[in-house]
Amino acid sequence: MHVGYTIHLATAAHVAALPGIESKAAARFAGWRVPRAVLTKTTPIPALTAAQATGQLWVALSRSDDPVGFGLVEALGTRLHLEELDVLPDHGGRGIGTALVGEIERWARLNRFREIALTTFRDVPWNAPFYQRLGYEIVDEPSLDAVLLRWLEDDGARGLDQTRRVAMRKRLEAE
């Protein structure tokens, strides 16, 4: 990762900045045939606050301790769902997203989670191809369990083109 950035569990003081990061990161989807909601809706503050309170929200901080990215997860049994991963476009391409995912994976292993799963766009370079470079595998339809199917169905209910969505996972071994 580029010098000058650190990854930490989010504090309550970080939460207010995160919707702005998510909104600016979502602007990159303009031109990718996504529903308007992808460009305009952000994770609600109460959901971010709850994740922060339970230690399931990480931030990437600049040298001046300003949040420039974040990762949000939800624990589901022995699986973590990577709900959101965003980096300010001005700070993109510096390994911040990779560092956030790495820290989440480290925490997941220490806490005995067996896998991290997510849904994302199959054809957007900073989505499925990014996660594939980090060792995540696309879960093909015959291997989708009820939870992964529900996540994809939820994506469809939000107006996301299901032919462009994919579930991915990375199996973890405990440290």
Residue 158 clears pLDDT 90, i.e. is over it: no
Residues 84 and 43 sit within 8 Å (Cβ to Cβ) = yes
Cα(first)–Cα(last) distance of the chain, in Å? 22
Q: Which two tokens stand for residue 170?
A: 């990375």
Nearest to 17 by CA among 97, 104, 98, 87: 87
Ordered by start, the domain boundaries in the chain are: 6-171
Taking the C-alpha atoms of residue 40 and residue 158, their distance in angstroms, rounded to an integer, is: 13
Query: Which superfamily is assigned to 6-171 in CATH?
Result: Gcn5-related N-acetyltransferase (GNAT) (3.40.630.30)
3-state secondary structure of 140: coil
Pairing state of beta strands 6-9 and 165-171?
Answer: unpaired
Alpha helix locations (H) across 36-174? Answer: 36-40, 45-53, 96-110, 128-133, 146-157
Taking the C-alpha atoms of residue 61 and residue 74, their distance in angstroms, rounded to an integer, is: 21
Residue range 5-54, pLDDT digits in tens: 999 999 999 999 999 999 999 999 888 888 888 888 999 999 999 999 99
Would you report the helix, strand and coil content of the chain in percent, each value rounded to 5? 40, 25, 35
Phi, psi of 116 (to 5 degrees): -120, 135
pLDDT given at position 144: 87
Residue 154 clears pLDDT 70, i.e. is over it: yes
The band of 175, judged by pLDDT with boundaries at 50, 70 and 90, is low
